[in-house]
Structures are given as structure tokens and as C-alpha cells.
Structure 1
Amino acid sequence: MKLSHLIILAALTSQLLLDSCTQSKSEPISSNTEEQVIYPAIKVESAKPSQELQIPGELESYFETDLFPKVNGYIKRIHVDIGDRVSTGQVLAVLDAPELSLQLAEATAKMRSAESQLNTSKSVYKRLQKANQTPGTVSPNDLDIAHSKIVSDSLTWLGTKAVYQSIQVMTEYLSIKAPFDGVVAERRLSPGAFVGPNDKSAVAIFKIKQENRLRLRIPVPERYISAIRLNQPISFSVMNLPDKQFTGKVSRISHNVNKQTRSELIEIDVQNPQLQLVSGTYTQVTLPFQRNTTSLTVPSSAVATTLEKCFVVKVENGIASWVEVKKGIEAEGKVEIFGDIKSGDTVLKTASDEIPNGVAVKTKL
């Protein structure tokens, strides 16, 4: 019984092995080979990129100055206060300096004395000339002495006159006048205060600002300065007048890059007759600009940035290579690039450091 069972089991095993061999010959085993990835690619283009740069700016008064006294004295009267509008030459304050008045009186007396002496010398010389019409009456030496006296007295008079004029000018400094049309931004002293250049802790009496004309100062990042030009239009807004848009044109370019901020300062003249704008206010500036020459552009995704470099993945003859570039103007999803690359080159639309340098890739434009 056991023997028959073993015979049957052996027959079944042989049949199974036969079926397996037959199946392996008729049906080949499929291999799990990975299909090659196809990368989207684009052509590098030449264009004149334009962009509207949003950067902050600051309004400053066109002219701004602190008024210090030229001479020593006490403040006698103050005619203006903070917020007052002043015009050129207007007297803002008057100083009192009694010693200066005494010096002026002394200089006046000396000048008039020298003038009187000069007039006397001229009169003597004229009388000698008249007497000399009679031969032998006046010696030539007396005429020479009289003429020399006129020259000496004339120089003395000119010296005393110069001293007088100098002190007179100093007395005019007792009146503190506005150097330009503007607004009194600060008044720091009051009547009775001692002021003057000899005061070691000198404090300005007033701060005057010209507010009817302002300067808008804008620091332009270094990467954009080559696209800035004179008379370029701009627009800006301020926080205290959010519903208004102001316009202007680039008036001055500093042509100097700040080493700390890596930016170049430009200025825009802003007319402000109604004093709507206030100096010291921050602004949001819209600065449209465009390159004067063509440059190379690619989609922003085509430029990869790592800690070491900024690059695009160039594909040539099916081989990917990293080409280091520098970015320029970036707008509307495209960016300027500068490097060892030319118009018409093929680069991957999406660059990544996961694609090794020098690997074979398959692309589709």
C-alpha cells in the first residue's frame, strides 16, 4: 500500500517538472529596466529686459541749515518760531553786543581823523604848488616832502577805513537773517542766551528747511545701476497720503557705490508748493527701467543657486554641464544671466544640483 502511494507521488512530481520546463521555453521572463527621464529644455534668448523696481526712498528738504551767530553776543529779540515760513533776507533774531558798538565808534573816529589829516596834506601840497609858480619861492625838496606826506596819509586813511568797514560788517551779523525761503523747523534758544563762536557748547539758534522743494533720495541696488539714466520717470507714494500718487524724474546720479549697502544713490527733485509732503518721510518708489543693450534671458527656474555658485545646466550633444552665471534684472518670470553662454544655447528649463555635471541626459524643447 505504501509502495503504490510512493509510485503515484513520483509520477505527479515528474509531470510538474515537465510542465515547468515547457512553460519556461515558451514564455520569457520580463526584465524591470528603468526608462530614461526626459528633461524639458529651452533656448537662451536675447532681449532688452525691463522691470518695475519697488524700493524705499526718503524725502529730504532741498536745502537745510543750522543758523549759528558769527559774533559773540546775547540774543536781544526773536521774531519767528517753529513752523513759521520765512523768506530770503528776513531778520529772524537780533543780538546785542555793546563792545562791538564801541569798537565801531572807535574805528569811525580813527577813520575820520585820518581823512582829515589827508585833506590837510593835500591842501598844503596845493599851496606849495601854487607858490612854486614864482621861481625860487619853494625848494624842490619841500615839494617832495609834501607829496610823500600825501601818500603816507592816504595809506593811513585806507587802513583805518578797512578796519571801520570790517567792524561794520561784524555789526551786521548781529541780525540773524534767513539764507533762503523756507520753514523754521527748530528754535533752540530764547532771548537772553549768550551765543557766539567763542561758546564751546555752541548751539544753533534756528534750523531752517526749504520745504517747497524736496529731494527724494533712493538707494538703487548695485545690480540695477547700469539701467538708471537721467530724466528717467518714477512714481512714489507716502504713508500719510495713501490715495495719492506722485511723479518725478531722476535729477542726479551719484556715480558712487556705497561699500556698506552696495547701492548707488540717486535723487529726484520734487516740487511741493502746498507743503503736502514733509521732509524725513519714507516713500515707496516705483522705478521702471530697461537695459540700453540686449542681454541673455532665461526662465527664473532655469537658474539654480547653491551655497557655492549660481548656475544653469547647459545641454550640448546630450551631455549636461553646469555653467556658472550671474543674475541681472528679474521680471515676469524671466531673469538676465551673464556668463560663458550665448544666445541659442540649450539649457534645462528647471536647473537642479541633483543633475550631476557631465551626465548624459535626454531633453525635449
Structure 2
Amino acid sequence: MKGPALTDLAFDDPGLARWRHGMAAGRRLGATLAGWGRFARRGYDLAIDQAKAFVLDRIDARREQPDPILRMEEGADPMRDARAVAVFVQFSRDGALTGMVRRQLAIYRDLGFAVVLVSNSPAFPEASWQEARRIAALVVHRRNRGLDFGAWKDLVPVARARWPGMDELLLANDSVMGPVRPLEPYLAAMRAGGPGFYGMLESIQGGPHMQSWFLLAHGRKAVADLTAFLAAMRLSRSKWTIVQRGELRLARAMREAGNRVAALFGYAGLVETALREPAERVYLDRALPGLLEGDDREALRALLMDRPLNPSQHLWRVLAGPAGCPFIKTELARRNPGRLPEVETWPALVPPDSPCPVEEMKAHLAALGP
């Protein structure tokens, strides 16, 4: 396994491809009649979602919105002199912090980040609040408007005011399990890239972008440009719209502002590994029946670049295995939205010396419920 290395994103105009984002898993790339049925259903659900959001967003724009921050308090160690800050967003139905989430917060703190924990949960029990204060430099409970991007939009300015010397800003959330490998080499590879905007995983669904569960602005200019993007972003009641305005546009906006934009796990490299490794090639055939016919690797690679997969879902085995990503997508293990085979075997890909034990990740999944 190679050490982590950055791959610069190539920004082609996504055009109408942006509208296909999030649809491929439901239709299995059109390989089966049932897949087309799921694709049609997702299209119908999206149309209803957008109709509702059109009305609700306009009502919100006319009304004075309540303060999104319900409670905010410094942690036991506010780390006032920190130059690196992580804004970590968490959500659970009961507001409790699982052992895995507490471990993630502690790992970011031990890496030198002043951690801002933002809970979008309906409640934040006092016991969990005090647990968070023992780890995080700042603990916040906010109304869940705008999901993770809404939390980052609200709290990044607060973080910059509290840590005026900040020259590194990490955006993270609890939508991934782990880390299953030490994070130091991955952060070191990002920092070695010099000032810029870096992510863990590139996706090209809907146009080249970086999945938003681990994003690092390194250098004062990148921090300022990221702050400006979040400030200008319009929130919505629609998760799909937030993804379009936030995740899919952010990397391009940072590049247009003059920043280097790169990911540690590029989509093309993951595809190449999946087609080169015999076991992963067999798995893709099972995951995408009838699509990848023949042995012409270049033709298959071109097909998967033209009709891209979600790398955190369809390429999960390559990502957590040969590629060496330190995280596994929670939604994959919890709900398997792409109906992929063998997802239940994910613990076998966790190294025995994982910083986050398998049992702790399983407990996290159990706490989230079905």
C-alpha cells in the first residue's frame, strides 16, 4: 500500500451531469429493469422534494429566522492559542455522543486542532454536553437548519473570531466511521501540498468535487476563501439542494479563488485499482451486474469515468482495503442504499491495530438505529 499522496482535481464543466448526482446508485446505472424503476422513483421523490423546498425556502426568506445557536459554551481547555481549528458536526436522534464520536473528537484534539463540536440534534442531554466539554474547545447546540453546511456557515465565523491566528480549518462530521488507520500521515500529506484546499475523497458524480466529510483549508488565504464561500451560500430545506449549492460547488469555487484543490483519494485512481485487482474486479461485476462486460480495462475505465460511481459506496472495498482510506462511510454500513453485496463484511477490512475498534463502530451503528 502506497503512502497517501494528493491528486489535483481536473475541473470540467459538469453541464447536465450535475442533475444526475445521487441518482446512479438507485438505478444501478440502468443495468436492470428494477434499477430503472428505482431510478424513476428517485426522480419522482426529487421532484416532490424540490416543489416543497421551493415553497418553504421562500417562506423562510420572508420570515425573521430565530437564532440558530441554542447554547454555546467553552470546553475545559479552550485552546485559545490554537492555529488549527476543526469544526465537527454531529447528529443523533437523542443527542447522545457515541464512543466513536468521542474518540474522533479526541483524535482531532490530539492532532493539535481546537475542536468546535456542533450538534444539530433535537436535544443535547446535559451528560453528553459535559462529556463534550471535556474534549472540545467549544461546544454548540444549534437548530438543524441547513444540515452540516448550515452548521459550518454559522460556526466558522465564530471560530475565526475566537482564534484570530487560525491558518488551518478542518470541516468534518460523523457521517464516516473510524478512523481505522492513524490520521497523521494523511494530514501530513495534505500539509505537504502547501497552501490550498484539500479533501480525503474525490467524486465526479455531478462534476468533480470532494465529499464533504473531511475538508481541510490550509493557509490563511484558503481559510478566508472557504469562509467567504460559506457566508455567501444560500441554505435550503432540501438536502439535495444543499448538496448542489455546497458540496458540488465548493471545490470549484476554491479553485476559481486561486487555491490549489486536491484529494488524497482520486476517483480515477480508485477505478484503476478496482479494475486491476482481480478480487475487486469480480466484486464490481457482482455489484453492477451486466454493466462491466469484457476484459478491455481501458474501455471499462472509460465507461466508469463517463458514468461515474459513488466512490464511498460502490468502491468501498477498494477504498477501505487496497487504497488505505482511514474512514468507512456510515450510510453504507447502516443502510446500504446501493444494495451492494457483502457490505456486512466491512469489519474484515478494519486493520487489527485500528485507532477505532470495530466494536465501537458497531455500537455507533446500533445507537443510530435502523
Same fold (TM over 0.5): no
TM-score normalised by the chain length of structure 1 = 0.18
TM-score normalised by the chain length of structure 2 = 0.18
The structure whose residues are more often helix, as a share, is 2
The structure whose residues are more often strand, as a share, is 1
